[in-house]
Amino acid sequence: MTKVSDIYTLSFPHAKSVLVSGDIHGEFNQLVFKLCVQYSMRDTLLIVAGDCGFGFDSPGYYDEMVKKNSRRMSEANNWIVFVRGNHDNPAYFDGRTFHHRRFVAVPDYTIIKACRHTILCVGGAISIDRNYRLHKWEEDNRRTHQHAVLKDTRLSRHYYWADEPPVYDDAMLSRINESFAIDIVVSHTAPTFCQLLSKRGLLSFATSDDTLLRDVDAERTTMTDIYNRLIHDAHPITHWFYGHFHQSWHNSIEGVLFTMLDIMEFREVY
């Protein structure tokens, strides 16, 4: 890991291929099995496009996951980078809290260098079921009388984190433009002009959440603003990968191939 003007940067000079995965929702062991055994990938960097599942268990759970899978990952010489989703505790995504030789959760606006690609990672989205998650958390705590708090409260278990949306960081984009030429973007959600466009699935949640539709519109607009800034700065973007919507879709829009990934769906970056 290196820093260029406070830009978090990772380089994988020994990777021979790059894959992007859709949401995994805590299925870390299945992810490693699919990568290393089912697909028999070697010398591969896998980037998870959000909703990884960090924060629903104690920090020790994730450390044990690393111990369980490190040998398999090392023998295959693979690496997994996790991008922040809305179903993730942002505290894990600072590049330090969860940083292991074969696994790392990265901050928003991380730059990854691998296989002659320069990849920008931007996390975050809105949980359309956020009210349900908050009520469920309170209900479960009342039922089980769980009031213990971890010493590091940043990493306390929860079902929802209020600082989940993507953030447009103009200063960071300016610094990135000074040092990098982005050709790949991996995000959790997508610009407004990409699928999923229908709001049909939102309406049932919006009846009990007065600001949901507005907040979802703001989420997508943030990603459009990032896209417009990257295009304005003449970054040579060819591909943009994202998850979040639990469906598959791809389309070329103004020379950029946008690819929406379903849960645990893999796509190779060429």
Q: Which domains does the chain have, with CATH numbers?
A: 2-269 (3.60.21.10)
* pLDDT at site 145: 63
* pLDDT at site 3: 52
CA 211 to chain centre: 24
Query: Over pLDDT 70: what percentage of the chain?
Result: 95
* pLDDT at site 201: 84
Distance from C-alpha of 86 to C-alpha of 51, rounded to nearest angstrom: 6
Write down the pTM of the prediction: 0.95
* pLDDT at site 141: 85
The average confidence (pLDDT) of the chain is: 95
Distance from C-alpha of 112 to C-alpha of 157, rounded to nearest angstrom: 29
Pairing of strands 79-82, 103-105: parallel
pLDDT reading at 146 higher than 70 = no
Tens digits of per-residue pLDDT, 207-243? 999 999 999 999 999 999 999 999 999 999 999 999 9
For residue 2, name the pLDDT band (cuts at 50, 70, 90): low
* pLDDT at site 150: 44
Please compute Rg for the chain using Cα positions. Answer: 18
Tens digits of per-residue pLDDT, 68-99? 999 999 999 999 999 999 999 999 999 999 99
Tens digits of per-residue pLDDT, 152-192? 589 999 999 999 999 999 999 999 999 999 999 999 999 99
242: nearest Cα among 267, 205, 218, 221: 267
